Structure 1
C-alpha cells in the first residue's frame, strides 16, 4: 500500500518515501566504528536516555545511499541540527564550507574541545 501526502491543494500528490529501516548488523557496525559515541559531539551513547540515530551522512536526496560507509551515529540533537545539509556558511568568513563526514574526515581536524565546549 502506498501512502500519499498532499502538499498543497494546487500541488500534485507526492508519494511518501518508506521509512529507513536499518539492518541490526549494520547498526552494530556503525556503533562500533563510532565507538558508541555521537560522531559529531563525541557524546557517549550511554550518557543519554534517547537512543542515537544511525543517519545518512550524505542524504539520499543528495545522492547518498544506505551503504554503511555513508552512515554515521549521531545524537538526536546533532542529527536534527545537521539535517540533510552537506555544507554551511562560516559566520566569520562567509565562505561555504563542507560539513564534517565521519568516514572521510578526522574529528580533530574539524573540532576542538575547549573546557565545556566543542568548537569548529
Structure 2
C-alpha cells in the first residue's frame, strides 16, 4: 500500500528543491507567519500519490485555496483550464510579474486559472511583496 503521509525526508527534499519558496506564489518561507506545507499537486482525493513527482511546497494561503482543485475557469477563453503543475511546468512560462513585482499576471489559460483559484494576488501578499521589493528581497 502506498504511503499516504509525507515523510520527513520527502519534506526535506521538496523544501530544498523549492528553495524555501511557495511553488505557486513564490513567497519565501523566511518571511511567512505560518509554516509552509508539502501539498499533493494532484490531491489524494483524486488518486494523487505521495511521491516526490506529485509534491510541492506551498504557503498556507495557496494550499488552502487550492485544496483539492486541479482546474479552474479561465475568464479569457471561457473554458476550464488545468492549474499550474510545478513538476511539469515552468513558472515563467505561465506567469509574469507586473512592473513593481507586486502582482502575478497569468499569461496562459493555466496561469490565469491558477492566479484566480489560488488568489495569488491576495492583499497581504501584494503588500509584503512591495515592502520586500523596496528592501531588495523580492522577487526571490
- Alpha-carbon separation, structure 2, partners of 1:107 and 1:59: 20
1:119 aligns with 2:120: no
- How far did 1:22 drift? 2.1
Q: Which runs of 4+ in 1 moved over 3 A?
A: none
Normalized per residue, the structure richer in strand is 1
- How far did 1:40 drift? 0.3
Q: TM-score, normalised by structure 2?
A: 0.69
1:72 to 45, 49, 56: 56
- Alpha-carbon separation, structure 1, partners of 2:95 and 2:63: 17
- RMSD of equivalent CA atoms: 1.1
Q: Report the count of equivalent residues.
A: 101
Higher relative contact order, chain-length normalized (CA < 8 Å, sep 6+):
2
Q: Which structure has the larger Rg?
A: 1
- Alpha-carbon separation, structure 1, partners of 2:12 and 2:43: 20
Partner secondary structure for residue 38 of structure 2: strand
State the partner residue of 2:66: 82
- Alpha-carbon separation, structure 1, partners of 2:6 and 2:43: 15
Q: TM-score, normalised by structure 1?
A: 0.80
Normalized per residue, the structure richer in helix is 2
State the partner residue of 1:104: 88
Residue segments in structure 1 that go unaligned for 5+ positions in a row: 1-19
State the partner residue of 1:31: 15
